[in-house]
Amino acid sequence: MASRKRVSQRSPARDAVPSNAAPTTGENAAANRGKRQAVSGPDASVARHPITRWHRAYMLLPVVLALLASINTLNNSFAFDDTDQILNNGFIQKLSNLPAAFTQSVWSFYGEDIIAAQDAYYRPLFTALFIINHAMFGTAAWGWHLVSVLIHTVVVFFVFLVCREVTGRDWVALTAAILFAAHPVHAESVAWISGVTDPLMALFALPSFYCYLRYRKTGLKLLLALSLAFYLPALLSKETAFVLLPVIAWCELFHFDDPPSLRTRAVRAIMLSGLFIVPTALYFLMRYQAIGNLVTNTNSRYSLGHILMTVPLALAKYLKLIFVPSGYSIQHFTALVTSVTNPGFIGPVVLIVAVVSLVLIIKSRALSFAALWFIVWLALPLAGIGAFQLLYLVQERYLYLPSVGACLAVALGLEYLAGRRWFGFQGRAAAIALAVAATVILGTVTLAQNRVWRNTVSLYHHCVRSDPRAPLARTALAGAYFAERRYREAEIEAQTALDLDPTCIDAYLVLSVFAYSAGKTDQAIKHLERAETMVTEGPQKRGYLGKIYSKLGFLYNQTKQYNQAEQYLSLAAETTPYMKTWYELAGFYFDQRRYQEARDLLEKALTVTSPRFAPIHLKLARAYDRLGEREQARAAYQKYLELAPGAEESRAVMKRLSEL
């Protein structure tokens, strides 16, 4: 039995990476593998206790736990965006569209929506997965959930492998993987079918990083090739996979201590990064060919100053979601921080400084890696908060991969506790008790949170239960009821939102939708006019006014009150000057036979919208046609046919082209 203990005398408070961690092969590589199990403290008796004997079967524990913690999602239906992305998505319903998934964006199936046309999410493997799922399961939700559960389970196994390679300690890796498998913050990524993007990316990103780590220890170039091979599908699943590059650079510069020269390590980091730039460049080439842009939408709803001051608050909320297993919801309203003297800025900054200081004081490479992993993977969601509504400034699914670092940090803390004596007692028992208690608590909360995602109504019911006095939770539930044709309940929730906050703009907006759907256009207009009076100064003012003016313009146009319609559509374009409001006003001008004004606005909108948005070319062609600009009309008609050859209007367009 002694041969199975594989004990290293390196203290966990020190660097977990052997000082001779240069790439090795043969017997040296085997020797390195034999050093994985570390003593949990200065007391060597820990290693002699039977609980420290490692068996390969133990690595299956987090896999089994992941299945047990997520299997109840198979009872769930479709929820939230699943209705649009799955049930109403005609594109994924044809297996023959599988190759076409690599030539368009995620939301391109919204062919007539100019906002969807700006979708900068190029995730072809996500779309391909949905096409395959639909071919196998149709609209049977349990099958879709089963695929998500299986993906998550495989990810958990690679969390164990990566943590073992990073720390060299089996028990630390096992503890981290178990905590990851049981953590309720992952419910949004696992129980929500359309939230599978992060687990799908992790399914390739973690093997890529694991192969890199194995290459770093063994020197086998095949492992480096596998790392590069896994990296590309990770990018094709979700663009944030390129975060692997700075993680690998960090490992080369600071995690491994060979070669000893920092300059030599920097050169090695640059060379390795150069290899990963090749699949990165291939991804961007495919992306540009498919959707015509290289980056996501850079437009921000808020000022840069407010964003920077709000980032610490958002980060603090993410830390709370990781370390305090409560308060999980699809909605995490986060008010913008507008002053550095605001407690919402000072408190989070103090917390962050304290955490960073603790990591620096401990001087553990494994802990430093865990902290680096957490913040680097979370950096992009934090940098992009300007694109989100305040209600969704913090989103739990963005913690899927960052939580690996947090779980590893907790596992390292438990290892430290296990190697200490407290008041004459061994810390091992306390560490085991804490680990078991944490797993039970996390798993119980996860099972409950999975049930929250049963359907859209249950999802927003949970928001209301979590914060009964939140008017925006009520309006969201009202919208869910309305979609289920539970009109009376929808109106009650919207009215409750107004009872809670008479200035709730969203309540008037949903009531306007309800009234219009019931044929009460005049009442819908009154609700919108009332909403306009509720708009106050603040970061959301322009967004709310633009939405209200646009809706009023539409309703007045429906009632043939064209002067008012033009007034409000023009106000919308002035308040929120971008392609949607220009496109809507151009449509109004075209219907009013004011073709020159329509042409000018469409040309303006075309300069900032996706050139692959077919409807704008058709509208421009018809405007040119009416103005007698035959060459421009012919070119625009041809562009439309090129982009939408199978559209309903294509036959009429071809006929008109033959006449020009």
Residue 511 covered by a domain: no
pLDDT level of residue 23 (50, 70, 90 thresholds): very low
**Cβ(518)–Cβ(506) below 8 Å:** no
Alpha carbon 278 to chain centroid, angstroms: 25
| Integer-rounded Cα radius of gyration of the chain | 28
**Looking at the domain assignment, is residue 469 inside a domain?**
no
More confident call, 1 vs 85 = 85
Q: Residue 159 has what pLDDT?
A: 97
| Domain presence at residue 593 | no
- Provide the pLDDT confidence category of residue 309 given band limits of 50, 70 and 90: very high
Give the pLDDT confidence score for residue 112 in this predicted structure.
64
Q: Residue 425: phi, psi to the nearest 5?
A: -105, 145
Among 452, 468, 499, the domain-final residue is 452
Q: How many domains does the chain have?
A: 2
Query: Residue 206: its pLDDT value, please?
Result: 97
What digits encode the pLDDT tens for the residues 250-269?
988 888 877 677 788 888 88
Place of tokens 């062609």: 621
Least confident of 40-44, 68-72, 576-580: 40-44
| Mean pLDDT, rounded, for 43-50 | 38
pTM: 0.85
Residue 472, in any domain of the structure: no
Does residue 358 contact residue 350 with C-beta atoms inside 8 Å?
Answer: no
Model pLDDT, residue 15: 45
Among residues 415, 435, 452, which one ends one of the domains?
452
Q: Which CATH number covers residue 615?
A: 1.25.40
Cα angle 94-96-99, degrees, rounded to a multiple of 5: 120
Query: Does pLDDT of 605 surpass 70?
Result: yes
CA distance 209 to 438: 28
Is 644 strand, coil or helix?
Answer: coil
The Cα 217–Cα 32 span in angstroms is 8
Grade residue 524 by pLDDT with cuts at 50, 70 and 90: very high
Residue 239 lies in a domain: yes
* pLDDT tier, 10 (very low <50, low <70, confident <90, very high otherwise): very low
Average pLDDT score, the chain:
86
Q: How confident is residue 47, by pLDDT bands cut at 50, 70 and 90?
A: very low
Q: What is the pLDDT of residue 389?
A: 86
pLDDT of 38 higher than 60: no
pLDDT per residue as tens digits for the range 127-137: 999 999 999 99
User: Which tops the pLDDT comparison, 633 or 6?
Assistant: 633
Question: Which residues are registered as beta bridge partners of 422?
Answer: 425
Answer with the one of 396, 418, 452 that is the final residue of a domain: 452
Q: How far apart are the C-alpha atoms of 622 and 17, rounded to whole Å?
A: 68
Q: What is the pLDDT of residue 429?
A: 83
pLDDT at position 16, please?
40
Residue 327 lies in a domain: no
pLDDT category of residue 425 using cuts at 50, 70 and 90: low
Instruction: Kindly give the interhelix angle for 505-517 and 521-534, rounded to the nearest 10 degrees.
Output: 170
Mean pLDDT of 353-363: 92
Q: What is the pLDDT of residue 660?
A: 76
Residue 361 placed within a domain: no
- Comparing 111 with 562, the larger pLDDT belongs to 562
Please report whether residue 185 resides in a domain: yes
Please give the residue range of the domain that contains residue 442.
Answer: 56-75+145-299+426-452
